[in-house]
Amino acid sequence: MEPETIVSAILLGIVEGLTEFIPVSSTGHILLLGHFLGFQSAGKTFEVLIQLGAICAILAVYTNRLTRIVLATPHDPAARRFVAGIIIAFLPAAFAGVMLHSFIKEVLFETPSLICSTLIVGGVALLWIDRHATAEPRYTDATRYPLWLALAIGCCQMLALVPGVSRSGATIGGALLLGTDKRSAAEFSFFLALPTMSGAFVYDLYANRNALSTNDAIIIAIGFVTAFFAALFVVRSLLDFVSRHGFAPFAWWRIVVGVVGLALLHYRG
């Protein structure tokens, strides 16, 4: 195993963890960075499987809260409604992801110019949403969203099947347009990431089980660990940041990365 591959895995894991839960598209970032680093993984599994590290960061931060919800589910209607809402929100993207899996991995993941373009378009959309989000939100508690709202957010999440759109950006942006506040929209996106990313991990691991080698497993483990610690930092600090500054800084970051990416692609022919 070459040292350059290990360094690339560490860098990509850090980028995955830092970007997974902010609306800038972690997949878009690691695909672009991997493209320019010359990093290759069997079936693009590395880029999907290291997301489990980010999932573990959510579990580490929200262990007590999630445990209380699970224990309360048998006798608390509010807890059952929250669990049902997460499941309902998860289903649209899960179904579409399975149906379009080959197209996404073999075409969309291999088109850097598309990723750059969706980063830019998504950044402009996020700027507009951040400025025009309702000043008096109707929904401020992520655990008490009505089921119709959860389903609508889940439908928005399907947009993130296109790399560069951003799973968190699609869900947060959709939630804001539907009358939530910024903090609860980001928090609901955290919770929705648990089944969404876990499902993607399991399905991609199964689909590529025969293509992975021992070296692949080692590289994925390195990316997993670095993604976990980077995501841990983001999950612990993001909600307070969003409450103070909104999503505009992330929108501008998307636009800059997209423009720079297109320029580099043009320069390299």
Q: Give pLDDT tens digits for 70-93.
A: 899 999 998 999 999 999 999 999
- How many percent of the chain have pLDDT more than 70? 99
Q: What is the mean pLDDT of residues 35-50?
A: 84
- SS3 of 179-245: CECHHHHHHHHHHHHHHHHHHHHHHHHHHCCCCCCHHHHHHHHHHHHHHHHHHHHHHHHHHHHHHHH
Show me where the domains of the chain are located. 3-267
| Angle of helix 182-207 versus helix 51-61 axis, rounded to 10 | 140
Beta bridge partner(s), residue 180: 139
Q: Give pLDDT tens digits for 4-31.
A: 889 999 999 999 999 988 889 988 899 8
Global pTM reads: 0.85
Residue 31 near residue 177 (C-beta atoms within 8 A): no
Cα→Cα distances 165→60, 222, 224, 237, Å: 27, 26, 22, 23
> 45: which 2 tokens?
């599994």
Phi and psi at 73, nearest 5°, equal -55, -45
Q: Tell me what pLDDT residue 90 has.
A: 95
Q: Give pLDDT tens digits for 224-243.
A: 999 999 999 988 888 788 87
Q: Is the pLDDT of residue 217 over 90?
A: no
Q: Mean pLDDT highest for which of 32-41, 146-155, 244-253?
A: 146-155
Q: Give pLDDT tens digits for 114-157.
A: 999 999 999 999 999 888 776 688 999 999 999 999 999 999 99
- Give the count of alpha carbons within 13 A of 74, CB side only: 2
Q: Is the pLDDT of residue 1 over 70?
A: no
Q: Tell me what pLDDT residue 134 has.
A: 65
